[in-house]
Structure 1
Amino acid sequence: MNTATTEIGMPGDKSTRRLVRYAVLGAIVFALIAAGGIYNPAFLSPQNALVILRAAAMSGIVAMGATFITLSGRFFSLALGQSAMFSGVCLAVMMSYGIPFPIALIATLVIAILLGFLQGGVIAMGANPIITTLGAGALMAGLAGLVTGGKNIPIESVAVEWIGNGRILGVPTQTIAFLISVAVAWFVVSKTRFGRETILLGANQATAHSSGISVPRVTISVFIIATVAAAIMGIFEAAQFSKARVMGFSSVDFDVVAAVLIAGTAIQGGRGSPLQTAIGAVFIATLQNYMLLLAWPSGVRMGVTGAFILLIVVGFHAFGRRKG
C-alpha cells in the first residue's frame, strides 16, 4: 500500500491523530499560560494578551503560507524573512518617489508573486528547495541593501500608519489579518481541489503525477502563496513602524519553521493543517513573550524554543510510529 492510500484511505485514524495533536498543543499552550500567570501576573493582563496575538499574527501569517510548501513535500523556504523585508523596502521606496499607496501596494504584491514564481519554477525543475531559497534570500537582502544603503526608509502615510497600528473593535489589524489567513488557508487545504493536490503531492509524488496532477504547477503555486504571505507580513511590519527596515528579520524563518513543525505538520509532506500551524504560532509567541518578560537573552530564548520544538516533534513522531 502506498503512502497516499495509507493517508487518504483511513479517515477515522487520521482524524484521531489530528484531534490528539490539537489536544496536546492546546494543553501545552494552556499549561504555559497558567505557569506564566502564576510566576508573573503581568503575563495574564489583557494588554499583554494583545501583544502576544499581534506577535503570533506577524509570524503566523507567514507560517500559513509556509504550511503549503511543507504539505507539498518541498520542506521549507528559507527566504521568507528576506521576502518580508524586501517587500517592505519595495513599498517604502516606491512611496518615497511619490507613487500612491494603493498602486505601490499592488506593485509590491506583484513583485512577491514574481519572486515566488521564480523560486518555485527553479525548484520544480529539480533544484534543492533549501539551497534555492537560501540563494534567493541572499539575493533579496543584497538588493535591498544596495537600494537603501543599509538605512531604514521612512513612510509618511496616514493609511499606512492605520494599517500598522489601527484596531477593529479593539483588535489589532495584524490579528484580524491572521484570523482571515487561517480561515482562507483552512478552506483551501480542506475544501478545494488544489488543497487535495497539494497534500497528495506531499504524500506520494509518483501517485500525484500518475493521477494527472501537474507537479510543477502545484510547486510554483505553493511558493507563490508563501512569498505573498511573507510580503503581507513585511507590509504590516513597515506600516507598524512607518518605515521599512533592512534589519530585524533574522528570526522570521526560525519562528515560521518552529510554528509549522511544532504543530505536527509532517516535514516530508502530505500531513498537516493550517489550524495546527496557527496553534503552533500562538505557542511560539506565548513562549517568546514570557521569556521576554523574564528578561532572558536572545540566545537563551532561541535555545529554549529549539528544545520545545525537538521535544514536541519527537513526541509526535513516536506517537505516529506507535499508531502505525
Structure 2
Amino acid sequence: MSAVGTTTVTSADPPASADAPAARRYLPLAGAAVALATAIIVAGLTNEAFLTTANALAILRSAALTGIVALGATFITVAGRFFSLALGQTAVFGGVTFALLMSHGAPFALAVVATLIVTLILGAVQGALVSMGANPIVTTLGAGALLAGLAGLATGGKNVRIESTSVEWWGNARPLGVPTQTWAFLILIVVAWFVMSKTRFGRQTVVTGANRATALSSGIAVWKVTTVVFVVASVAAGIVGIFGAAQFSQARISEFGGLDFDVVAAILIGGTAIQGGQGSPTRTALGAVFIAMLQNYMLLLGWSFGIRTTIMGAFILVVVVSFHLVRGRAGAK
C-alpha cells in the first residue's frame, strides 16, 4: 500500500487547521455562491428580459457546455499542469467523429462510445507527452492545431449532417423542462466533486499539484496521474462535442471557437490555483454559470464583441490577482 493511502489531504481544497471552525473550508464556495446570487439580482433589476424562463434556460444550456469541459479541465489545473488549450478542438473533433459515424449508419450508442474512446486516446497521448516532460501549454496548443487540421480534412471543410430522431432528442429535449445538457452538467458536477474529494485518485491529484516531490516520495505514480487528468478533460470535451452535434443535427468545424477561453475563465473564476494543489469542481461549475450569465447579460444590452471580450478579460485579471493577493496574505500568517 502506497503512502498516499494515509495522506491527510482528503478534499479538493486545503483542510482547515485544528483550531479553525470546520465551516471555514466552505467559505470559498459560499463566497462564490453569494457573488453569483448578487450578480443575478443586479442583472434582473437592470434588464427585465434577463429573468425570463427562456433566457434562464439559454444561460443554463450555455453554462453546461462550458461547465462540462471545465469540470474535466479542473483536474489538469489542480494536478499542477496549468491548462489544456486543445479542448475546444477536441470537442470539434469529437463532434465530427460522432457525426461521421452516424451519417454512415452507425447505431447511436456505438457512435457515442466510439467517439468517447477516440477522445480518451487523444487525451492519453497528450497526457503521456506532458508526463515525460513536455510543456503542457505547447503540447496542447500543437495538439489543438493538429486536431483542427484533421477535422477539416475529414469533412472537406463542410458541415456533416445527421438525420436521426435519437440524436435530435439528446440535443434538444428538455426533461422536466430542463435541457439534456444541463442534466448532464448537474450529474457530472456531483461525479467530479466525489472523485476529487472522496477518492484516492482525487487525493493523488491534489498532492501531485501541491508538491510533486512529495507526491513522488509518497509513492504516487505522477506520470499516471498526469495522463489520467488529461484523459478526463479530453473525454469531457468529447461529451460536449456530441451534445453540440446533436443540438444542431450537424457537426461544424467552426464550432466551439471560444471554448478554451471560457473553460480557463471558469476555472480561474472558480478560484482554482494556477500552480496546482488547490481547486474545486463545484466552484468551477459556479464559475461556468457566472461566465454564461455575464455573456448573456452583455448580449441583452447589445454590447459589441470587442466590448464583451474586453470586459471578460479585465474581470478574469481582477479575479486572478485578487485570489493571488488573498492566498499570499494567508500564507504569510
TM-score, length of structure 2 as denominator length: 0.93
2:164 aligned residue? 157
1:53 aligned residue? 60
Q: 1:13 to 1:122 in 2, by over 3 A?
A: farther
C-alpha distance in 2, partners of 1:9/1:37?
36
- How far 1:22 sits from its partner (Å)? 2.1
Q: 1:261 to 1:14 in 2, by over 3 A?
A: farther
1:176 aligned residue? 183
C-alpha distance in 1, partners of 2:148/2:21?
41
C-alpha distance in 2, partners of 1:51/1:237?
14
Answer yes or no: is the 8 Å Cα contact 2:181–2:243 preserved in 1: yes
Answer yes or no: is the 8 Å Cα contact 1:64–1:226 preserved in 2: yes
Structure 1, residues 38-81: CA drift from partner, whole Å, max 9, x if none? 22111011221111111110100000000000010000000000
C-alpha distance in 1, partners of 2:114/2:299?
36
- How far 1:26 sits from its partner (Å)? 2.1
Kindly indicate whether residue 105 of structure 2 is the aligned counterpart of residue 93 of structure 1: no
Root-mean-square deviation over aligned CA pairs: 1.8
C-alpha distance in 1, partners of 2:320/2:310?
15
Instruction: Map 1:300-319; keep pairs closer than 5 Å.
Output: 300-319=307-326
2:46 aligned residue? 39
Structure 1, residues 71-118: CA drift from partner, whole Å, max 9, x if none? 100000000000000000001111222222211111111101100110
1:228 aligned residue? 235
Instruction: Map 1:194-205; keep pairs closer than 5 Å.
Output: 194-205=201-212
Gaps in structure 2 of 5+ consecutive residues: 1-7
Kindly indicate whether residue 137 of structure 2 is the aligned counterpart of residue 130 of structure 1: yes
Q: Aligned partner of 1:19: which letter?
A: Y
Kindly indicate whether residue 100 of structure 2 is the aligned counterpart of residue 75 of structure 1: no
C-alpha distance in 1, partners of 2:44/2:165?
37
2:117 equivalent among 110, 113, 124: 110
Answer yes or no: is the 8 Å Cα contact 1:81–1:251 preserved in 2: yes
Answer yes or no: is the 8 Å Cα contact 2:16–2:25 preserved in 1: no
Q: Aligned partner of 2:177: which letter?
A: G
C-alpha distance in 2, partners of 1:317/1:16?
22
TM-score, length of structure 1 as denominator length: 0.95
Answer yes or no: is the 8 Å Cα contact 2:15–2:25 preserved in 1: no
Structure 1, residues 190-231: CA drift from partner, whole Å, max 9, x if none? 100000000000000000001000011100000000000000
Answer yes or no: is the 8 Å Cα contact 1:70–1:268 preserved in 2: yes
Gaps in structure 1 of 5+ consecutive residues: none
C-alpha distance in 1, partners of 2:56/2:24?
29
